[in-house]
Structure 1
Amino acid sequence: MSGDVPSSAATVIVGAGAVGCSVAYHLSELGAEDVVVVDQGPLPVTGGSSTHAPGIMFQTSPSKLQTKTAHYTSRLLKDAGVYDEVGGIEVARSEERMDFLQRRVEHATAYGLPDPQLLSPAEVTEYLPLVNEEEILGGYYSPTDGRVDGIAALRWYIEQSNADFYGHTSVTDFDVSGGEITAVETDRGRIDCGRCVLATNNWGYKTGQLAGLDLPIAPVEHQYAVTEPLPELADAEPTARVDTGDFEVPGDHRIADAMSRGPTRPVGRDQDNSLYFRTHGDSIGLGSYNHESLTVDPDAMGENTERRQASVRDFTDEHWERATHPDRDKSPKRAFEELLPVTEGKSFEATENGIFVFTPDGMPVLGETNAVDDLWTALAIWWTHSGGYGKILAEWMETGVPTLPSGPVETGGIHVDRFGPHAGEKDYFVDRGATQYRQVYNIVEPRWQPDDHRGLRRSPFYAQQEALGAEFYQAGGWETPQWYESNADLVDRYADAIPDQEGWQAVNRSPIEGAEHLHTREHVSMFDMTSFSSIVVEGTGAVDFLQRLCTNDVDVDAGQVRYSLLCNEGGQILADVTVVRLGPEEFVVTTGGGNSPGIHGGRLEQHAPETVSVTVEEGARSTIGLWGPKSRLLLQRVTDADVSAEGFPYFSAKRIYVGDVPVLALRVSYVGELGWELWAPTEYGSRLWETLWEAGQDLDVRPMGGGALESMRLEKGYRLWGTDIDSDADPFSAGLGFAVDMDTDFVGREALTEVQASGPDSRLTPLTLDDSTDVVLGGRPVLDGDESLGYVVAGDYGYSVGESIAYAYLPSEYADAGTAVQVMCEGATYDATVRDEPLFDAGRSKIRR
């Protein structure tokens, strides 16, 4: 649309690429009115990655959400007539990659993609006859993969949407007053608005800066080239839905022309060499991640000119002809010529170094920012997932419940506020973006850990832990021990109860984790909980405020503790928290580490009335979980407080001194044993550790890491936010009905009344393997014969119960104890049985002793 921009709009979307157009379309579908979309480029060929991308869509991912959004996108765009469903094939040139492709089948089966298949080399070349059969060991085929016609899809979105679109409109500033966005300033005028969506992808960091936000969006270049016409493809009849000559195209018109020509054969990947390919009519497009990470200063993302598309850089021959990727020993040129001999010696009719973006964890950035009310983000999203995330965001904005047609979706791993405070530092997120680029086609091991930007956040116990041989893992920037080499002697003590683990499931695991688990069940251990966060809620109306947000009754006596959930309007779980009442209008809410402080704390901050103060104390307190049957004996040695069962009952709290350290002590345990959480100001942390450690030597006190915590909590059926529970589950499905008091008026109650009345369609259910001690990994399908029932959300070996445990959401008719099912993992199919929970200490005598 041309003409002056309006002076006001209910919603302004910045960016008219795949994501912005998808959001506008889906808002229109929900009935939203007065939506304006602006973009600095011409329409529909904006000059962003949406129009220089080759549009290849491989749907299968280890992430359920990425798979679901990809499949929704492919169905939407197929129905729109702008998607070529030619299928997709990923080939293997190594045995390790064939194992990886088996995982592809398992993830696709788990998440509902139709008809995933492993192919022999001969079967691959039936679909892709130009592939050199001697170079491959096999392939993975997903018949609904394909290619989106980018320009045609953007045009379709614009035509189908009720929004008003304005090209050649650059955003120059945002008016952020009183912590909320009130207007978008453009070079064509000011637009007052009720809410705004940033869908600027490559320019995400720059536009975030205009609103005072440090969004960790790192632009990176990667290469694409289209060969001259090939005689072997002379009979190809490509789809051509648009004539690019009908549009204003920034920069090199040859790129847009080439991208408009559709494939006639399945799209392909050679991940062993970080390559992908598709046909463009009678030419072949060759895409390469097989070069060093070419990061772009996010402040240096320019604007379109007549000669240059801002998101395209010149093709760099050296990255094509030389092996520069740190994990690959062949150049892209050589690897392609081996796999597709027809490309040898051919010239290119179009080339580019196209720019797209990565976040530090490789996932999108979605949702409303806590720092600026009514400012929403939809960033770091590719064509593959753009339709799905546009749908999710539109539902989130309009109804408060992010959903796809298949149901509510998990948002913990994509939420804009999931990152730690350090993530917005440019060197950090650009380096981590480069790492994500490097890993796009790598085989990433279970529990893989980065080696850059380590040691950012260390608890006061770090020196003691390092001296004890801690194997540090990183979460949210925190260095958290997974196990301790100082406990290696325990492996011999408990050898009979620690089975050997082999293969992929055993990678980055240690038998010390099992030994720490068993030791804690018999003695006493100290667990570092400093990465967990406390949130202080106080002021007039604090109890009413928390009662409105929490599903459980938190109007309890001072000194009592409640486990509760926070739900959205649809009754899905936004958080699980521990609420401690300290006074008439004084509470401490504790939550986990990782993304919890930003998301859970942000939820409380956003909804607090003016009379209530919410302070997220991320890192302000250092915390030790003191757990095990000897924990009371140890704690009583170092405090004058009464810690007897009568004087300090389960799920209560006291302010006490441990030695001379002031502590908020909670009688709670995440491992199913007698114990306490001891929360102290960070500056006292080192002394707290020393005091407990020295007093417990004759009790054989030991440090305990995250590996033991995981297996112990699964034995007890304790839930983990972001793994077992997220915004795709309701409390009754998750087995957390006990944390819901339907007599209180909380957000989500109306929706949960219906679930409670009818019963949940699925239930989070423990399984144990019948005849194996192997560990089952997450994202693997649970089956009844050939029928996929669900997928594993968490699995580990239960060292106390002597069985391999897997938790899965299963249809309610399969969730009764004794039901026989199967679990597929790493090509093996295991017989398994549904069990009652908890598997360990069902009478809860240990935790209440």
Structure 2
Amino acid sequence: MSSGELPSSAETVIVGSGAVGCSVAYHLSELGAQDVVVVDQGPLPVTGGSSVHAPGIMFQTSPSKVQTKAAHYTSRLFSEMGVYDEVGGIEVARSDERMDFLQRRVENARSYGLPDPQLLGPEEVVEHLPLVDSDEILGGYYSPTDGRVDGIGALQWYIEHSDATFYGDTEVTDLVVEGGTIRAVETDRGRIDCERCVVATNNWGYQTGRLAGIDLPIAPVEHQYVVTEPLDELSEYGSSVGDNTTDLDVPGNRDIQEFMSEAPTQPVGRDQDHSLYFRNHGDALGMGSYNHESLPVDPETMGANSEDRQASVREFSRRHWERATHPDRDTSAKQAFDELLPASVDAEYAVTENGIFVFTPDGMPAVGPTAQVEDLWSALAIWWTHSGGYGRLVAEWMENDVPRLPSGPVDVGGIHVRRFAPHTGEKGYFVDRGSTRYRQVYSIVEPRWQPEDHRGLRRSPFYDQQRELGANFVQSGGWESAQWYESNADLVERYAEEISEQDGWESINRSPIEGAEHLHTRDAVSMFDMTSFSSIVVEGPDSGAFLQRTCSNDVDIDVGQVRYSLLLNEGGGILADVTVVRLDDERYMVTTGGGNSPGIHGTWLRERAPDTVSVTVEEGARSTVGLWGPKARLLLQRCTDADISNGGLPYFRAKRLYVGEVPVVALRVSYVGELGYELWAPVEYGQRLWETLWEAGRDLDVRPMGGGALESMRLEKGYRLWGTDIDTDANPFEAGLPFAVDLDTDFVGKAALEEARESGVESRITPITLDDSTDILSSGRPVLHDDGEAVGYVQAADFGYSIGESIAYTYLPSEVAEAGTAVQVLCEGVTYDATVRDEPLFDPGRDRILR
């Protein structure tokens, strides 16, 4: 730490010295980075941000693998640092629905490697947490390695053990961007020229981003916490309040830091049925509440510390504590605590706060290099629970171009700052969505839940036709995409014998129409809206050589040829799977998925392109129809004069042609394992494209098809979905995609793949089918072998309507991933017998797709 004069330059400047900024600085030092400077507007280590008003509770289990892995790394790191109280964590249930939820907790914990997760009965809960009234609960979930971090102690440790130089009381006034690259950080104490910069300001994340001219969707929200006066029931634990922050410069009310620095001696607890959590602070009881209406803070008015207050703490609003203001809860926080913890009924409060922390529109962190400014990194929307892990991940990413933890590479698709669509930077949007995520923190969110606000933002030209056909729309990246169509309800009766009945958790927000659309497509022909998918145009004199360097496969192809390939990071992890189409000598079209793909994959290509190559991400510029099924050629031939016979347009070939008057690029590819085409047209022609195909196919019983059918059909064929089956966790050999790699070419990640090939494949993806059940499994549930040991987890699952079996895909150790091996899957408390199978499960000879 330094209070001296600021340096005029540094290789890396980190803005924010809270939990995340300190973690990034420490891990950069561990990896050998030199000349790292950290600045913060507050005093050190008690900066006035959320890191120092937080109670430090750490529950590690999440449905998200990356969140769970980051949390577990963080808990182990803090244990080594000596700033972690591993008292365990217990989540209690006051409803049958919550007990089912806690069973899912156990299954997620087993899948992702947390030690010894347990379900407890009411009396067992009380043995650990004597303040809990056993009559109020049905049971609990116990994670022995959960606990609490001493926030101030952790910040002090980071500062003392990092090679970085820290400067407090230093306000950042500007981020200097020149030529699209970060060049310097301006402060009230001078300018620091830099080669890269990390934004780790959390509550001030939006404001800091604006200094660089970008809109980071980081919404600050108020959150309530109280600490009681000493309780007789906790008197045996004593208190050191008054000595915890001695000699530290503390902004605002010192009592907050004094009590937050007091360690727990019992497990930390949660009552998620009422959006509450709690822990003891020595002989006092701390209680936190999400059980109130969302209280968003204007991200432009966060402000700074003053003599009277800490910058990220607002005045406690008692009415939100004592009244039921949460839209989904009938009881106030105080009433619910009084019922669960009778010792709190008449307790006076020694400390109260409305502390501020942040949410993104989807509730996940925002990390990685920004798309708009080169060498400007985001490390935002991260809590203490995950701070150590994400600090390590970001440091590895910055230094080695591979986001990883000691346990291995990490998939960052769901946390990448580039995943956000352009509209998410509008303040009203991200504040509303952040508020919704706050409200849902402890809610049981149903599978395939959809928000109701800010809908209809991005619509394909087919939207009106789809709505008339009864489309059930779901939103992804702002796009409205149909999951199924009510106009196909008559197909359910036609295929009734082949559509299995579903009930329970995985049946929620599903429809049997999805299965009917699947089967109809295999029998006839269907149209699928692919407008949310993206094309990336790569052109210029060196475009072919550029794609050869960035693609894992040999893309030195003829005009009109199509090739499937991968984009890899330096560690050989899969960044994307793409289809490369050579349109002309110096012009290629690279197609990728929708959602976060354009921002992540398109930017990755663009930032690596030389001056002689232009990369244009055509997100929303084309409207695309997937035309699939045995009658697809017959329908398309009615609409075009072009030769689309097997000889005229073979599999994995492309041709420019007209559908009616509409100019399209027709790709002979299919994501469902049937004869078919992708028809890419300029967006202004989209509506006519749909109308032309629809009218020509009426007597062929052409139907619209939604995303539900697409998912089940692609799983039957074993087609991969980036972000679900394949991601940066896996290399192509593990992912069963060696055919997408040509080691005779030079490409990003080649060295890592050669090393992986030499060392052998320890795990690989494989399909399994249930032996005697038609239930659809949930992702993230453990796959068991031999003595019940978890050897993998479900990546994706659905029912295979054409094969009549329930399918799941999982990565298994190579010795287990052999066809015929018996395994089990634990899902919703039921252990299902299953068998490893060869892939593809449907049409292994590809007779249907090649006809």
TMscore range, shorter length:
over 0.9
Q: Determine the structure 2 residue equivalent to 1:781.
A: 782
Offset at residue 22 of structure 1 (A) = 0.2
Q: 1:540: Cα distance to partner?
A: 1.5
CA distance in 1, matches of 2:654, 2:425: 36
Aligned to 2:78: 77
Output the amino acid matched with 1:284: L
What is the distance in 2 between the residues matched to 1:756 and 1:842? 26
Residue 550 (structure 2) aligns with:
549
Equivalent in the alignment of 2:815? 813
Query: Distance between the aligned counterparts of 1:699 and 1:789, measured in 2?
Result: 47
Partner Cα distance (2:239, 2:100) in 1: 34
The structure-2 alpha-carbon separation of the partners of 1:287 and 1:102, relative to structure 1 and needing over 3 Å to count, comes to: same
Quote the residue 2:802 is aligned against. 800
- Tell me the amino acid that sits aligned with residue 408 of structure 1: P
Paired amino acid for 2:216: L
The worse-fitting range, judged by mean Cα deviation, of 724-733 and 266-275 is 724-733
* Aligned-partner SS, 1:722: coil
Unaligned runs of 5+ in 1: none
- Give the secondary structure class of the aligned counterpart of 1:808: strand
* RMSD of equivalent CA atoms: 0.9
What residue is the counterpart of 1:848 in the other structure? 850
Unaligned runs of 5+ in 2: none
Per the alignment, in what secondary structure is the counterpart of residue 553 of structure 2? Answer: coil
What residue identity is the alignment partner of 2:478? G
Q: What amino acid does structure 1 have at the position aligned with 2:336?
A: A
2:755 matched to 1:754? yes
Contact 2:241–2:258 (8 Å) recurs in 1: no
What is the deviation of 1:757? 2.3
Asked if the contact 2:244/2:262 (under 8 Å) is kept, the reply is no
- Return 754-763 or 253-262, whichever deviates more: 754-763
Separation in structure 2 between the aligned mates of residue 602 and residue 820 of structure 1, nearest angstrom: 43
> Hey, what does 1:526 align to over in structure 2?
527
> Residue in 1 aligned with 2:406?
405
**Match of residue 665 from structure 2:** 664
Give 3-state SS (helix, strand or coil) of 1:794's partner. Answer: strand
Change (3 A) 1:638 1:413: same
Aligned to 1:126: 127
Query: Counterpart of 1:324?
Result: 325
Q: Give aligned pairs, total.
A: 849
1:727 CA displacement: 1.0
Residue type of the partner of 2:52?
Answer: T
Which residue in the other structure is 2:389 paired with?
388
Does the aligned pair in 2 maintain the 1:226–1:258 contact within 8 Å?
yes
Q: Evaluate the alpha carbon distance shift between residue 727 and residue 240 of structure 1 in structure 2; reply closer, same or farther with a 3 A threshold.
A: farther
**Other-structure match for 2:834:** 832
Shift of 1:643: 0.5
For the residues of structure 1 that align with 2:759 and 2:497, how far apart are their CA atoms? 46
Counterpart in the other structure of 2:440? 439
Distance, in Å, in 2 between the alignment partners of 1:375 and 1:426 is 21
Q: Which amino acid counterpart does residue 115 of structure 1 have in structure 2? A: D
The offset of 1:242, in angstroms, is 7.3
Worse-superposed segment, 721-730 or 54-63: 721-730
Distance in 1 separating the partners of 2:89 and 2:498 = 45
* TM superposition outliers: structure 1 runs of 4+ over 3 Å: 237-242
Give the letter aligned to residue 384 of structure 1: T
CA distances 1:663-700 after superposition (whole Å, capped 9, x unpaired): 01000000000000000011100000000000000000
Q: Is the 8 A contact 2:580 2:590 kept in 1?
A: yes
Whether 2:653 is the aligned partner of 1:641: answer no
* Amino acid across the alignment from 1:526: M
**3-state SS in 1 of match to 2:815:** helix
1:81-120 residue pairs with structure 2 within 5 A? 81-120=82-121
Match in the other structure for 2:334: 333
**Alpha-carbon contact 1:667-1:675 (below 8 Å) kept:** yes
- Equivalent residue, structure 1, for 2:158: 157
1:282-326: per-residue Cα shift (whole Å, max 9, x none)?
000000000000000000110011111110000000100100000
Match of 1:27?
28
Q: With structure 1 as the length reference, what TM-score do the two structures score?
A: 0.99
* Corresponding position of 2:687: 686
CA distance in 1, matches of 2:243, 2:619: 52
Change (3 A) 1:315 1:687: same
Matched, 1:569 2:596: no
Provide the rounded CA distance (Å) in 2 between the counterparts of 1:260 and 1:751.
45
Q: Distance in 1 between matches of 2:673 and 2:239?
A: 62
Contact 1:762–1:810 (8 Å) recurs in 2:
yes
The answer to whether the 8 Å contact 2:14/2:200 transfers is yes
Q: Which residue of 2 aligns with 1:376?
A: 377
Tell me if structure 2 keeps the 8 A contact 1:237–1:264.
Answer: no
Alpha carbons of structure 1 residues 241 and 802: separation in structure 2 relative to 1, 3 Å: farther
Give the CA deviation at 1:241. 12
Deviation at 1:514, TM superposition (A): 0.1
Residue 257 of structure 2 corresponds to: 256
**Matched AA of 1:823:** V
CA contact (8 A) 1:634 1:695 kept: yes
Does the aligned pair in 1 maintain the 2:242–2:258 contact within 8 Å? no
Alignment map for 1:562-711 (pairs within 5 Å): 562-711=563-712
- SS of structure 1 residue aligned to 2:680: strand
The answer to whether the 8 Å contact 1:9/1:193 transfers is yes
Matching residue of 1:181: 182
Letter in 2 for 1:813: E
Q: CA deviation at 1:240?
A: 8.3
Deviation of the 1:658 alpha carbon: 0.1
Alpha-carbon distance in 2 for matches of 1:240, 1:471 = 57
Cα distance in structure 2, aligned partners of 1:25 and 1:562 = 43
Report the alpha carbon displacement of residue 758 of structure 1 after superposing the two structures with TM.
Answer: 2.6
Is contact 1:152–1:242 with CA below 8 Å preserved after alignment?
no
Tell me the equivalent position of 1:494: 495
State the partner residue of 1:738. 739
Q: CA deviation at 1:754?
A: 1.4
Deviations 1:507-535 (Å, cap 9, x if unpaired)?
11100000000000000000000000010
Distance 1:264 1:174 in 2: 44
More displaced, 781-790 or 162-171? Answer: 781-790
Aligned residues of 1:766 and 1:836 also touching (Cα < 8 A): yes
Give the Cα separation in 2 of the matches to 1:304 and 1:732: 53
Residue deviations 1:56-111, cap 9 Å, x none?
00000000000000000000001110000000000000000000000000000000
SS in structure 1 of the partner of residue 236 of structure 2: coil
Rounded to whole Å, the distance in 1 between the matches of 2:841 and 2:430 is 42
> Are the counterparts in 2 of residues 239 and 262 from structure 1 also a CA contact under 8 Å?
no
Contact 1:238 1:262 in 2 (8 A): no
Counterpart for residue 290 of structure 1: 291
Q: Please give the alpha-carbon distance, in whole angstroms, between the structure 2 residues aligned to 1:636 and 1:367.
A: 47
What residue identity is the alignment partner of 1:567?
L
- Displacement of 1:238 in angstroms is 6.3
Alpha-carbon deviations, 1:678-727, whole Å to 9, x = none? 00011100000000000000000000000000000000000111111111
Q: Distance in 1 between matches of 2:788 and 2:55?
A: 35
Q: How does 1:334-483 map to 2 (within 5 A)?
A: 334-483=335-484
SS at match of 1:488: helix
| Paired letter, 1:759 | G
Cα distance in 1 for residues equivalent to 2:418 and 2:233 = 51
* Paired amino acid for 2:789: E
Residue 222 of structure 2: aligned partner: 221
Shift of 1:4: 1.2
8 Å contact kept, 1:369–1:416: yes
CA contact 1:238–1:264 (8 Å) conserved in 2: no
- Identity of matched residues, %: 75
Q: In the alignment, residue 201 of structure 1 is paired with which amino acid?
A: N
CA distance in 2, matches of 1:685, 1:712: 25
Q: Is the Cα contact below 8 Å between 1:472 and 1:479 reproduced in 2?
A: yes
Partner of 2:514: 513
Residue 583 of structure 1: CA displacement?
Answer: 1.2
| 8 Å Cα contact 1:202/1:301 also seen in 2 | yes
**What secondary structure, in the 3-state scheme, does the structure 2 residue paired with 1:417 have?**
helix
